[in-house]
């Protein structure tokens, strides 16, 4: 296994997609695998980068809906299809192929800012455990993509909610990333909170993922973001998860909803 220090920055991989006919191609992205598939944030990030390369003048990303259809290997091909390009909002589809088969589909919404008709500020955590005071978490689970990340404990004292995982996350190599791309890449980095409630060890697999960005200029301190996955309902082999992401000051920057298959 390559060390994270020798792996190319994901930002450079995304910026270096090669266009071959109607598709964008990336090869050898093995530093971001987990088991037999690519980490979902990485495959989704590559789809986002393909859109940005195909349509560089699009406004800010506002939301995305992702279907994890089949395992994504280290070599991928991505097609970008404009569904509708309006005056202010554009909707774009991405299809990611591995070994000739559709493995990942994204439905993306991009929208430019316009004069506001009212405002609701993003929520701020009152019980934030600062990353400066948090203990680091060693990578001992063998997941390949985790080698690219630094992780620290993130649950506040007294937080005993069932089915919840909260961690501070930072990329070891942030070169070449735009702020939105960084959020897309990291937002799925935690295991589902339902993992804490499983009666026995078994595999899990993301089925779908929807994300909404809370603003178009996310910023944080020292590259640290606070992530949380929380199970809403787990039964009959399926799990619904709410995903949340905050900056270092506890301001929420992204919220998502994920459907997970629970095996074993």
Mean pLDDT over the full length of the chain = 92
The token pair that represents 155 in the structure block = 């649950």
pTM for this predicted structure: 0.94
Residues ≥6 apart with Cβ < 8 Å to 116: none
Q: What is the per-residue pLDDT for 143?
A: 64
Residues 18-55 pLDDT 10s: 999 999 999 999 899 988 899 999 999 999 999 999 99
CB atoms within 10 A of CB 242: 15
For tokens 């991405």, what's the residue?
94
Residues 150-166 pLDDT 10s: 999 998 777 888 899 99
CA distance 25 to 181: 18
CA torsion sign for 23, 104, 53, 63 is positive
CATH superfamily, domain 4-113+122-262, is Acyl-CoA thioesterase, double hotdog domain (2.40.160.210)
What are the residue boundaries of the structural domains of the chain, listed by start? Answer: 4-113+122-262
For the cut 60, the answer to whether the pLDDT of residue 5 exceeds it is: no
pLDDT category at 130 given cuts 50, 70, 90 is: very high
Phi and psi at residue 69, to the nearest 5°: -90, -40
Whether the CB-CB separation of 41 and 186 falls below 8 Å is answered with: yes
Instruction: Classify the phi-psi angles of 100: left when phi > 0, otherwise alpha if psi is within -120 to 50, otherwise beta.
Output: left
């Amino acid at each position: 296994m390559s060390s994270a220090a020798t792996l190319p920055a994901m930002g450079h991989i995304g910026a270096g997609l090669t266009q071959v006919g109607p598709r964008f191609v990336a090869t050898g992205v093995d530093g971001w695998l987990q088991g037999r598939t690519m980490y979902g944030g990485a495959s989704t990030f590559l789809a986002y980068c393909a859109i940005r390369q195909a349509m560089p003048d699009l406004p800010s990303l506002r939301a995305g809906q992702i279907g994890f259809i089949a395992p994504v290997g280290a070599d991928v091909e991505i097609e970008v299809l404009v569904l509708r390009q309006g005056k202010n909002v554009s909707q774009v589809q991405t299809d990611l192929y591995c070994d000739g088969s559709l493995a990942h589909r994204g439905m993306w919404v991009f929208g430019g800012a316009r004069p506001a008709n009212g405002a609701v500020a993003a929520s701020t955590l009152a019980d934030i455990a600062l990353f400066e005071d948090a203990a680091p978490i060693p990578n001992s689970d063998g997941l390949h993509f985790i080698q690219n990340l630094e992780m620290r404990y993130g649950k506040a004292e007294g937080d005993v909610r069932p089915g919840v995982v909260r961690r501070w996350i930072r990329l070891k190599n942030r070169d070449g990333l735009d702020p939105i791309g960084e959020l897309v890449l990291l937002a799925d980095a935690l295991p589902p909170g339902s993992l804490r409630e499983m009666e026995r060890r078994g595999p899990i697999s993301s089925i779908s993922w929807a994300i909404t960005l809370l603003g178009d200029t996310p910023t944080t301190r020292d590259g640290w973001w606070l992530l949380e996955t929380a199970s809403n309902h787990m039964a009959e082999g399926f799990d619904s998860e709410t995903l949340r992401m905050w900056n270092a000051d506890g301001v929420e920057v992204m919220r998502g909803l994920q459907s997970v298959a629970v095996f074993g």
